[in-house]
Structures are given as C-alpha cells and as structure tokens.
Structure 1
C-alpha cells in the first residue's frame, strides 16, 4: 500500500499576527479526510475528520 504525503497549508481560520497557526491537509479518495495540526509542532499530535464530520464541526463552531 502506497501513501501519498500530505500537503499542508495554513488554515484560513488562523491569524496572520502571531506564531500560532493551524495547518490543514486534505487526503484524497476513496475516503477524503481533513487533517489538522499545530504548525509549531508539525510532528506532534494531529486530528483527522471525515468530510461530513468536519462540516458539522464548522457549523457548530459558527453557532449555526
């Protein structure tokens, strides 16, 4: 089984005026997954969400 390395980018929810940044990567099919990590500790713990769970989280965080 071959795994493709994730391409990380700064989340649009992160601020530009400080060292604290959230980075996001999206893995492709067959089961798209959203990966989240702290840019200050890229080798540390990560979170992973299915697309549906991520959408629900964003709606909850937005207070909808």
Structure 2
C-alpha cells in the first residue's frame, strides 16, 4: 500500500467517523433526562424542601 493509498484510506475513515458521530448526536440529543426540581410539600414552591421551608408551622 503506497503512501497516497494510506492517506486516501485515512480520509475515507475520518469521513465515515464524522457521519457516525453526527448520527449519534442526533439519536442521543434527547436521551438525557433533566434533574427533578425540588418542590416543597408544605408550601408547594420550587427551590426548597419541607425541611428548609420558612412557612412551616411549629407542628413537625
């Protein structure tokens, strides 16, 4: 295999790899789940939990 043949083969493989990477990016773009947001069970507000709620009453 000559040097020109090797270079042509490398270019071909790189092109195939880029096609595969692009297809994988499309397939996996929606696969990641968003983390659940904290929601307080006392005041039903996002951003904190019942443990740290400022609106909780004395009855715990």
> Which is helix-richer, 1 or 2?
2
Where on the TM-score scale, by shorter chain, does this alignment land: which range? under 0.3
The two structures have a TM-score, normalised by structure 2, of 0.19
Higher relative contact order (CA 8 A, sep 6+): 1
The two structures have a TM-score, normalised by structure 1, of 0.19
> Which is strand-richer, 1 or 2?
1
